[in-house]
Amino acid sequence: MILFVDGIDGTGKSTLVARLLDDVARLGTPAVVAPPLWTFLEPISAPEDFGPWVRATPGGEVGRHLVKAMTHRVETLHADSIGGPQAIVLVDRGPRTVACSARAQARTGARSEHPDRSVFGTAQRLLEQRVADLLAAVPAVSVELRHHGQFDLVLRRLAAFEQLTQRYLDYLHVFADEMTSSPDWPSVPRVALDAGARVDANADACLAWLKERRPPCRGAADPSFKVGGDSAKGRRHRHAPLGLPVHLAPTGGVAKGAGR
């Protein structure tokens, strides 16, 4: 089974992935973490290269490379190259998160002198096809850490570990809008969790779903699992949005990322 952990920066994706890696052992099921997204990004060779590359590259080109990297990542999951057929594969940032992030980069990043919007659309359609191919062979679910009503909390978490430049803040606002307004990723069941809830509560909700193996309704979040109130390439797995070093807190701390 593939378990995509989705949400904008600062919602606790990496923290939840790290917690689930330890907690899934209670189910007697092997668990592995998929290689981080940055390892599939052709323009960079180390996670610390990501920030400078984003700042120096037109936003549309950044978005295209992000979608292309996620496509290659999905292809490795389809090839069952990690974990084995019985494993739960934890993926920090699923296709919906990466697609929304890519669109936010395209909207807020530097403009290209000769933009080719057809290239970006072609890349996303290929990703959609690869996800459909994956779901035809392997069960998958998206666990989304929802930021609705929690954006100030997200900013406080991120500010504890990095400088929030105006460029990055603009990107985060658009990224949040994309995640809120974009439809669910086609055919990927989704479990909605509260980004403001404690990591142990969110981990327990994921474990409950995994124990029951009862998929939520396709194309909609499963309300029975909503938690909380309103309010070098291919290596280690404890990582932040693109595989950057993570700092874990006992009650939902957030990963440390690179300044944008």
247 belongs to a structural domain: no
Query: 141 is in which domain, residue-wise?
Result: 2-225
Q: What is the mean pLDDT of the chain?
A: 79
**255 lies in some domain:** no
Q: Radius of gyration over alpha carbons of the chain, in Å?
A: 17
Q: Is there a domain that residue 240 lies in?
A: no
Residues 227, 132, 1, CA angle at the centre, nearest 5°? 50
Average pLDDT over residues 225-252: 33
Lowest mean pLDDT among 20-24, 119-123, 200-204: 119-123
Residue 236 lies in a domain: no
pLDDT at 231 over 50: no
Chain-centre distance for alpha carbon 69: 13
250 domain-assigned: no
Give CA–CA dist 127/95, Å, rounded: 8
pLDDT of 9 higher than 60: yes
* Domain total of the chain: 1
Q: Look at residue 112 and tell me if it is in a domain.
A: yes
User: Is 242 inside a domain boundary?
Assistant: no
The CATH number of residue 50's host domain is 3.40.50.300
Residue 245 is assigned to a structural domain of this protein = no
The rounded distance, in Å, linking the Cα atoms of 169 and 187 is 31
Mean pLDDT of 148-156: 91
pTM: 0.80
C-alpha distances out from residue 54 to 43, 47, 58, 99, Å:
10, 12, 8, 16
Write the pLDDT tens digit of every residue in 163-198. Answer: 899 999 999 999 999 999 987 776 788 899 999 999
